[in-house]
Amino acid sequence: MKVISDLLRRLPLAALLMTCGLACAAAPNPDYAIVVSRATQADPEWRRVVEVLSEKHRGVVIVYDAAVEEALPKLRKVFPRYACFVATPAEASGEFVAQVHRLTRQLDDDPYPDCFWGILTGYNAANALRLAQHQEPLTIGKVLAGTEIPLDMCEQGRWYSEQEAGRWARKQPGGKIENLTGPADTTEVMADALTKYQPGLFVTSGHATERDWQMGYGYPNGEFRCEDGLLYGLDTQEKRFPIRSPNPKVYLPAGNCLMGHIDGTDAMALAFLNSAGVHQMVGYTVPSWYGYAGWGGVDYFLEQPGRYTFAEAFLANQIALINRLQTYFPDLVAAKLDAEGKTRSRIRLTKAAREAGLTADDARGLLYDRDVLAFYGDPAWAARMADRPKAWDQSLTETNGLWTLEVTPKRGEHTFEPISENGSQRGGRPIVEFFPRRLEAVQVIKGAELEPVITDRFILMPNPHGGELTNNYRIVFRAKASP
């Protein structure tokens, strides 16, 4: 017995736990919460989805009875870094998306989102389980788009114009951007590219509904449609092209109406998740007109390659949207919308809004976009663009509780301008840096004139575009880790 005791004393803790058969008793990870309805948790197939997420992340499971808002007290107590809402297609409605938006802003008193979140759903439980099981991170080298994108920020990629028939561009690895001419009907080309080119990011814009994506915005072109959870192309001659694209990817329908609206199992979002290899996607649950929520993905994810994961880029833009409301229309930060997406709150144009050239339509647009962009997938799964030189460098360092955000321009007077202006509400977004852990007791030591916003999760610096450019921008603040 003494020999065994001596051996156990010399074993590392992990080995000791394994030896004693206690490894499975590891404490849950409060940084990851899985939120699920009691009805979904009671279904054996969907319960397996929750179990896999819990095993993968050692997550805390929070079960609610009728409304997802019931999870708020436990979410506040846990205060996770990631919250994954497991939902069946019947649950993942547009209203559910809006409820999750509002819920994840209520964990503390500031108006900003308090965690990275995603709704994990699928065409069926087997589809959701496949997404839950996937672990390998994705570094995106290839990009495919049905609208113009900044190819110079990609290792390689192709885009096909939604405005001009036959116009497309290509960038090969290590090469320059080529402007080319091709067929006016790009249905077969796009279906073939998804299947064989195997992009890690797919970007679209233009007209869409829950049942289709129309590839031509300014001219007649084909469509992507879905049937029984499968995506396919249908050209202008009614010829059908099946799409089989199993490689893991993320989908950014930046300017599409309704692509994120799940109104039944025939929804396009479910077909992308089920048959097109999409592991994470965003998408409007309503018709898109203002565009701040959707096109922000280009600003943060595409134009700052490698800086953010797809989930971080989504949250950074939600933070930017709330900050824009708070800066220019503070009376509307907590405003509620009716069933038609309108507010009864009085819109007051502040001096700051007038000086920035903003109108009441901007206020309505920001409110309209605030809670209607869905994020589907496991928010902790890391998908990011391959790292490339960016318009500015930014770094966050910490020494003995003293934190420094430093931003260094790299493109001279054009540093803080959008690289591509295609889309709506492009450019001007603030610089956002996420903290590796929650912070509190923040005291700004240097850089207060830059008007930073610092919460427990992030620091935001307003975009310097339009002001006098300096060699670098530095904000120094003292803070300590939250308990």
pLDDT tens digits for 253-284? 999 999 999 999 999 999 999 999 999 999 99
Cα separation, 481 vs 261, in Å, equals: 38
Q: For residue 24, is pLDDT > 60? A: no
Average pLDDT of the residues in 335-355: 82
Q: Using CA of residue 393, residue 366, residue 292, residue 423, what is the dihedral sign? A: negative
Mean predicted confidence (pLDDT) in 227-241: 97
- Mean pLDDT, all residues of the chain: 93
Average pLDDT of the segment spanning 211-221:
96
Task: Check pLDDT > 60 for residue 21.
Answer: no
Specify the pLDDT at position 306.
98
8 vs 344: which has the higher pLDDT:
344
Rounded mean pLDDT, 221-249 = 97
| Largest Cα span, the chain | 83
Question: What pLDDT is attached to residue 483?
Answer: 81
Place of tokens 């790009």: 186
Do residues 60 and 50 make contact, with C-beta atoms less than 8 angstroms apart?
A: no
Higher pLDDT, 98 or 28: 98
What integer pLDDT is reported at residue 116 of this predicted model?
98
256 token code pair: 């599409």
What integer is the mean pLDDT of 406-425? 95
Average of per-residue pLDDT across 405-415:
95
pLDDT of the residue at 343: 74
HEC sequence for the chain: CHHHHHHHHHCCHHHHHHHHCCHHHCCCEEEEEEEEEHHHHHCHHHHHHHHHHHHHHCEEEEEECCCHHHHHHHHHHHCCCEEEEECCCCCCCHHHHHHHHHHCCCCCCCCCCCCEEEEECCCCHHHHHHHHHCCCCEEECEEEECCCCCHHHCCEEEEECCCCCCEEEEECCCCCEEEEECCCCCHHHHHHHHHHHCCCEEECCCCECCCEEECCCCCCCCEEEEECCEEEEECCCCCEEECCCCCCEEEECCCCCCCCCCCCCCCHHHHHHHHCCEEEEEEECCCCCCCHHHHHHHHHHHCCCCCCCHHHHHHHHHHHHHHHHHHHCHHHCCCCECCCCCECCCCCCCHHHHHCCCCHHHHHHHHHHHCCEEEECCCCCCEEECCCCCCEEEEEEEECCEEEEEEEECCHHHCCCCCCCCCCCCCCCCEEEECCCCEEEEEEEECHHHCCEECCCEEEECCCCCCCCCCCEEEEEEEEECC
Q: State yes or no: pLDDT of 365 exceeds 60.
A: yes
pLDDT exceeds cutoff 80 at 287: yes
What's the average model confidence in pLDDT over 393-400? Answer: 97
Across 289-317, average pLDDT: 98
Confidence class for position 5, pLDDT limits 50, 70, 90:
very low
Q: Which residue has the higher pLDDT, 150 or 467?
A: 150
Predicted model pTM: 0.93
- Residue 339 is predicted with a pLDDT of 66
Distance (Å, rounded) from C-alpha 365 to C-alpha 367? Answer: 5
**Residues contacting 282, CB < 8 A, separation 6+:** 251, 252, 253, 260, 294, 297, 314, 373, 374, 375, 376
Separation CA 325–CA 393 (nearest Å) = 27
CATH 2.30.30 fits domain 26-133: no
Tell which residue, 371, 375, 373, 296, has the closest CA to residue 333. Answer: 371
Residue 25 has pLDDT above 80, yes or no: no
Q: Look at residue 409 in the predicted model and tell me its pLDDT.
A: 96
| Residue listed under structure tokens 């090469």 | 175
From the list 196, 186, 166, the residue with the least C-alpha distance to 234 is 186
411 and 387 Cβ atoms separated by less than 8 Å? no
Can you read off the two tokens belonging to residue 214?
Answer: 């129309």
Q: What pLDDT shows up at residue 449?
A: 96
Rg (CA), the chain: 23
Q: What percent of the chain has pLDDT over 90?
A: 89
pLDDT of residue 58: 96
Residue 14 has a pLDDT of 37
Is pLDDT above 50 for 240? yes
How many angstroms separate the CA atoms of 147 and 144, rounded? 9
Token pair belonging to 67: 């409304």
Instruction: Return the structure tokens found at 218.
Output: 């300014």
* Mean pLDDT, residues 34-52: 98
Q: Out of 137-151, 160-174, 469-483, pick the least confident.
A: 469-483
Structure tokens at 303: 């134009």
Residue 466 — pLDDT band, cuts 50, 70, 90?
confident
Lowest mean pLDDT among 7-11, 233-237, 256-260, 375-379: 7-11
- Would you state the pLDDT for residue 340? 66
How far apart are the C-alpha atoms of 95 and 210, rounded to whole Å? 15
Residue spans in the chain of domains classed CATH 3.40.50: 26-133
Is the separation of the CB atoms in 414 and 427 below 8 Å?
Answer: no
Q: Which tokens sit at 400?
A: 């003995």
CA angle 325, 331, 333 (to 5 degrees): 45
Q: What is the pLDDT of residue 263?
A: 97
